[in-house]
Structure 1
Amino acid sequence: MEDPSRPDVGRRSLLWAALAAPAVAAASTTAVALDAAPASAAGASVRTGRFDEDDPRFAIGVLPDTQYLFDEDSSDPTPLRATFRYLTEQRKARNIAFMTHLGDVTEHGSEHEIELAGDTFRAIDGKVSYSVLAGNHDVRSSTDDQRGDSAYLRAFGPARFAAMPTFRGASPDGYNSYHVLRAAGREWLVLALDWRVSDKGLAWAQGVVDANPKLPIILTTHDLAWSDEAGTASLSDFGRRLWDRFIRRNDQIFLTLNGHYWPPGRTVLKNDAGHDVHVHIANYQDRYYGGAAMIRLYTFDLARKVIDVETFSPWLLDRDPEDRTPLEAENLELTGPADRFSLQIDFDERFAGFAPRVLPEPRPASAVMPRGTVAYWRFDASGLQSAGTDGGVVPAGAVARDLTGGGNDLTVELLHASAAEVLKWSAEHHEGQPAHASLRFDGGKNPDRGAVLRTGPAAPLNSMKFESGYTIEAFIKLPEPFEGDHAWMGILSWEGRSGDAGKTSGWSQDEPTCSLNLSPERFLQYVVYPTDRDADPTSWSHALPVGRWTHVAVVNDGRRTVVYVDGSKIARNPTQRSKGISTLGKPFAIGGTQFAQKYGQGYYGWIGDVRIVSRALRPREFLTPFDS
């Protein structure tokens, strides 16, 4: 469409006036007639093996108005062919799940233009699933989705999509459709609505939403919002109708995409549930070569809780840099704030109203004690004598049982003159933790305070050397805000002086022979004095996050030690040989580290399940399994 300098004048107003006619009676929601081919038959028609549907990172291609590339005898589909080639060739590398066209495929909607466009789209058929919707240049602009037959419908109606494994159905008129794609381990619904969806079309769309009540929805339509030169989007007249009558009422719709207007822009609106709905405009037909078939890639990253958006023309990027003209070089990639940006979205939180995340159930201790487990402590009722009310004090003398039955029970001791409130029971836990409970430690300095849980004087763990290897695991969480000075607080350790074990090469002979601590920068420090040499190989992690549970694993295979954080090997693991732990028959402790056989400050934060195994485990064998 031509660029409107104002939202209330010009061709857009004329098109809206042409639509102002008696409303068509709303169709019954029973009109969700699905004309898709059976999934078993469709699956063989599209090669999906290169797309990883379980990867938490995936991309959706968004293709806006291509109308100037299909303009009667001025047509040139070459740029679009390059875009389709990019999507198919990069499908594995970019994990591209889907592509959606935002309408105005052609300039006049003529038989010639539509036929050429349909033929161009064959380059992507059977390679990447996609949706297409009609823009005002593809059909008679004075009509809505009840317009009946058209060249567009014959080329881009339901029959075109029936073999795609994502296609789930179309409205009876054929102009509205929806797809369900599986990506990042869950299903997503893409709803493609005609440029002028009727009351019947809206009733059909509502039926689709009602039939898929747990799926997050990306809504695509040609005309929804316009943007000012600063890139701030506002709903158009028709967009306001669509928002009020459909989008705002359906919390599942979290992202809407449209073309039609330029410049591109975006805004965030609040729906009736009080949640964000991202409204985006993408249209580049005003730029060199009709936009040069620019594609937007929306890269969803569920691990980082972000959508990264980028806009570029594969056709122009393919050119030899030495051969690019100034206009080609200027338009090959757009990096303005409306074209390249990131959206921070906590997907679990945003979707909780209609698809709350199902967390793993607690696992019994017997299910997480593999061969070689020498100690396992958990702080639910199965393992802690004083487990109970969230926030309740765990008193001195309370016992955390070693669930292996190996005799390594822990007893709570308060440090210095600490009040009982320094140790409390908590229902908080890492979502992958077997037990749904933890201990909340409130240790600190000036004066030193805290609590520790120690093995008894005769516990077998006190003297174990682990010369064939070991794995020590713990779930920890640092408070947010992380207040006070907690530098060098201990998480767990064996008591005793390294000097008493004959070790003289370390920082001080007064430090213990094995401890896991936190530096002033919140770096994990694992220091161990091995049995076979006078050395203190030390591992250092990155800065740990606050307000979030972390799984830590220390793995030794009898030769060297590797520390893992959330299943990832950290960078600073020493290559120095390390065999066993020079234990001295003194207690093992959770919640603190001794120096010169005395405890200073105690740990500050939460500690969940702790397990020690007398062999090296692989990440997939950890208390919460990770891919190895």
Structure 2
Amino acid sequence: MERRNLLAAALAAPAAATLDMSPATASTRGFDKADPRFSIAVLPDTQYLFDADSADPAPLKATFRYLLDQRAEDNVAFLTHLGDITEHGTEREITLAGSTFRAIDGRLPYSVLAGNHDVSSSTNDQRGSTAYLKVFGPDRFRGAATYLGASADGYNSAHRLTAGGRQWLILALDWRISDGGLTWARSILAANPTLPAIVTTHDLAYGDDAGKAYLSSNGQRLWDQLIKDNDQIFLTLNGHYWPPGRTVLRNTAGNDVHVHITNYQDRYYGGAAMIRLYRFDLVRNRIDVETFAPWFLQRKSPLAEETIELTGDVDRFSLEIDFEKRFAAFAPPALPAPRPAARVVDRHTAAYWRFDTAGQAVSDGAVVADLSGKGNDLVVRRLAGSGADVLTVAADHHRGAPAHASLRFDGGPNRGALLQTAPGAPLNSATFMNGYTFETFLKLPSPFTGNHSWMGVFSWEGRAGDAGKHSGWSPLEPTCSLNLSPERFLQYVLYTAEGDHNPTSWSHALPVGVWHHVAIVNDGKRSVVWVNGSKIARNPSQAARGVATVGRPFTLGGTSFDLAYDQGFYGWIGDTRITARALRPEQFLPAGHFR
């Protein structure tokens, strides 16, 4: 939640306000397990709120109310407590804490673990019965949908949740896990080999005043015997120490493991059940972290207002994680299989080209067949002086492309390759008066070096002036083209068949190094450009009916000026389809795969 939302919540909630947390109310505040953006809430040491006759559970109740009330908006998948629930681990303290946690039982999945203040600090997880185990042991969680099980002693638990359209594993490990407990934890990982895992425990790392984290002696043992050799573990969370801190360690597989200390018991009101929200964004490949105390939203005092939200480098930060790449070794992405042409061609398809035909040649004169059956084959030709390397077949492709292949263009000024329809091809004179959809996949190299200003993606060759069109930039430019500006903005230029109109659409700057699906949809009245299933901003409302073709070739890989080509395309082009009607986004070639 942004700070403005926090402050809005504070203003909206009077100090004495209470939220209706009846089961019926809570159940209507849903969690979307398919949304690629979700949150995991982290609750560190609450021990000073459950301290003998000084106990005050009000801040923790406020945190629970907040999480239940905001669960849908923040898409909270899970809450994990990092231990030291209480100060002394007495039956009275543990019982009070247990009754406080009832507010989220059955309403918000969560895990707890024992800290050194909840059990005897001189024992490990073989300590036998304790007040903690009676209240927060396996019996409490058996009915929870996310509960996977516990070690035989009951002090270590595993939780499997679905969020962002995939499953995740959380291990909640005891203050002093035994060798048997470590064997159990390894068995859980082995039984769930494709699940990314988060290890939560009380003591793993400590931080210095600069926010740098270092493994404690117990943390080194966990690292050596559990974490470093299990590539599934990408994040560890612990409390116990303050100040908070973080670091990144490299595991045996050579991948990053993020190590975070979260503890605010030294803050005003013992931290007031302050939480961290780890906001996962699987689309943007990042985790945005923020730290705040919901109880302080409803309290007006100088110290409360100072501590509502923490914004230091160890309290509010972002992690850049390419989730697919990080998890690829144990959970390779399930890519869609190639789709045959028959699956994406219908009676409205005017042309469809793909580059996965066995032995597809790209030498001058080679033919790329039009799989629509309409006779619009493309013929390869290189610009004068261009070598064989300016056009090659590549295996690289958009994950949603029907064909798992593309063409790699290495063009530039007066260099490049073109694929053009033959003279007399039906497409050369098609005007699409009743609407159309032009689709292609493209990818720009990273780094994007050299001069590639105004390079063409596709076009209909022919001077606009020859079509009687004089409303645009020059009568020598083609009647229809998709180009890239020096700022990497897509430019769709159209001279309409009906009237002397020149509506032009402009996209945002295209990111490099990733695939994009581009669709231009015209319903017979107006053209709209879509990139990756999203409508761009600068689509003119000007009337746009038909395409003013003049019988010259359709060209893939370039845009002419005065019938000449001086800038070849630079990058990859994948499947390209032309449909003689307006398609809806769900009918586009990616079929829902817009990443």
TM range (shorter): over 0.9
Q: The residue matched to 1:255 in structure 2 has which SS?
A: strand
- TM-score under structure 2 length normalisation: 0.94
Match of 2:474 in 1: 508
Partner of 1:484: 450
Shift of 1:416: 2.3
Equivalent position of 2:133 in the other structure: 153
Indicate the SS of the match to 2:98: helix
- Residue 369 of structure 1 deviates from its aligned partner by 1.3
The residue that corresponds to 2:193 in the other structure is: 213
Do structure 1's residue 106 and structure 2's residue 86 form an aligned pair?
yes
User: Distance between the aligned counterparts of 2:454 and 2:357, measured in 1?
Assistant: 31
**TM superposition shift of 1:627:** 8.5
1:421 aligns with 2:401: no
The one-letter code of the counterpart of 2:305 is: A
| Maintained 8 Å contact 1:379/1:608 | yes
C-alpha distance in 2 between matches for 1:609 and 1:627: 14
**Contact 2:45–2:84, Cα closer than 8 Å, also in 1:** yes
Measured against aligned partners, the alpha-carbon deviations of 1:1-36 in whole angstroms (never above 9, x if no partner) come to: xxxxxxxxxxxxxxxxxxxxxxxxxxxxxxxxxxxx
Task: Tell me which amino acid in the other structure corresponds to 2:31.
Answer: F
Aligned to 2:159: 179
1:94 alignment partner in structure 2: 74
Pick from 347, 351, 354 the counterpart of residue 378 of structure 1: 354
Q: What is residue 503 of structure 2 aligned with on the other side?
A: 537
> Any idea what SS the aligned residue of 1:61 has?
strand
- Identify which of 443, 461, 472 aligns with 2:438: 472
Match of 1:249 among 225, 229, 237: 229
In 2, Cα distance between the equivalents of 1:48 and 1:474? 42
Aligned residue for 1:27? none
Question: What is the aligned counterpart of 2:403 among 423, 435, 438?
Answer: 435
Corresponding residue for residue 176 of structure 2: 196
**Aligned residue among 512, 515, 524 for 1:546:** 512
User: How is 1:164-313 mapped onto 2 (pairs within 5 angstroms)?
Assistant: 164-313=144-293
Letter in 2 for 1:209: L
Q: Do 1:514 and 1:529's aligned partners in 2 also have CA atoms closer than 8 Å?
A: yes
- What is the TM-score when the length of structure 1 is the normalising length? 0.89
Matches of 2:484 and 2:326 in 1, distance apart? 33
**1:47 CA displacement:** 4.7
Q: Using the TM superposition, give the Cα deviation of residue 140 of structure 1 relative to its aligned residue in structure 2, in angstroms.
A: 1.2
Shift of 1:599: 1.3
The alpha carbon displacement at 1:318 in A equals 3.2
Whether the aligned pair in 1 keeps the contact of 2:464 and 2:479 (CA below 8 Å) is yes
2:70 aligned with 1:70, yes or no?
no
What's 2:12 paired with? none
Q: 1:118 aligns with which of 80, 98, 103?
A: 98
**Per-residue deviation, 1:142:** 1.1
CA distance in 2, matches of 1:246, 1:146: 19
Contact 2:235 2:258 in 1 (8 A): yes
Deviations 1:169-192 (A, max 9, x none): 011111100100011111100000
**Contact 1:191 1:219 survives alignment (8 Å):** yes
Q: CA RMSD in A?
A: 1.5
Question: Does the Cα contact within 8 Å between 1:224 and 1:236 map onto a contact in 2?
Answer: yes
SS in 1 for 2:305: helix
In the TM superposition, what is the alpha-carbon distance from 1:444 to its structure 2 partner?
0.9
Q: Does the Cα contact within 8 Å between 1:48 and 1:127 map onto a contact in 2? A: no
SS in 1 for 2:97: helix
- Distance in 1 separating the partners of 2:160 and 2:298: 32
Aligned to 2:331: 355
How much has 1:490 moved relative to structure 2? 0.5
SS in 2 for 1:115: helix
Q: Distance in 2 between matches of 1:181 and 1:234?
A: 29
How far is 1:417 from its partner?
2.5
The equivalent position to 1:368 in structure 2, one of 324, 344, 353, is 344
Aligned residue type for 1:440: R
**Superimposed CA distance per residue, residues 137-164 of structure 1 (whole angstroms, 9 cap, x where no aligned partner):** 1111111111111111111111111111
Which of the numbers 571, 578, 586 marks the counterpart of 1:605? Answer: 571
Distance in 1 separating the partners of 2:486 and 2:400: 28
Deviates more, 1:351-360 or 1:273-282: 351-360
Q: Deviation at 1:310?
A: 0.4
How far, CA to CA, are the matches of 2:499 and 2:61 in structure 1?
65
Cα offset, 1:421, TM superposition: 2.2
Equivalences for 1:305-344 in 2 at 5 Å? 305-319=285-299, 324-344=300-320
Alignment check: 8 A CA contact 2:29 2:69 kept: no
**Match for 1:536: what amino acid?**
N
Q: Is the 8 A contact 2:289 2:318 kept in 1?
A: yes
Q: Who is 1:55 aligned against? A: 35
8 Å CA contact retained: 2:197, 2:235? yes
CA distance in 2, matches of 1:485, 1:64: 53
CA-to-aligned-CA distance 1:260-316 (integer Å, 9 cap, x gap): 000000111111212111110000000000001101000111111111110001111
Say if 1:620 and 1:627, in contact at 8 Å, map to a contact too.
no
Q: Distance in 2 between matches of 1:474 and 1:201?
A: 54
Does the Cα contact within 8 Å between 1:47 and 1:126 map onto a contact in 2? no
Counterpart amino acid of 2:291? T
1: CA distance between counterparts of 2:485 and 2:298?
49
Paired residues of 1:48 and 1:128 also in contact (CA < 8 A): no
Instruction: Tell me which residue corresponds to 2:109.
Output: 129
Distance in structure 2 (CA, Å) of the matches to 1:428 and 1:460: 30
Mapped to 2, the partners of 1:264 and 1:179 lie a distance apart of 25
Cα separation, 2, equivalents of 1:363 and 1:234: 50
Say whether the 8 Å CA contact 2:493–2:504 is kept in structure 1. Answer: yes
Structure 2 vs 1, CA of residues 488 and 92 (structure 1 numbering), >3 Å: closer, same or farther? same
Other structure's SS at 1:138 match: coil
Q: Which amino acid aligns with 2:390?
A: V
Matches within 5 A, 1:4-23: none
**CA distance, structure 1, for counterparts of residue 226 and residue 41 of structure 2:** 24
Alignment of 1:617 onto 2:593: no
The gaps in structure 2 that reach 5 residues or longer are 1-23
How many percent of aligned residue pairs carry the same amino acid? 67
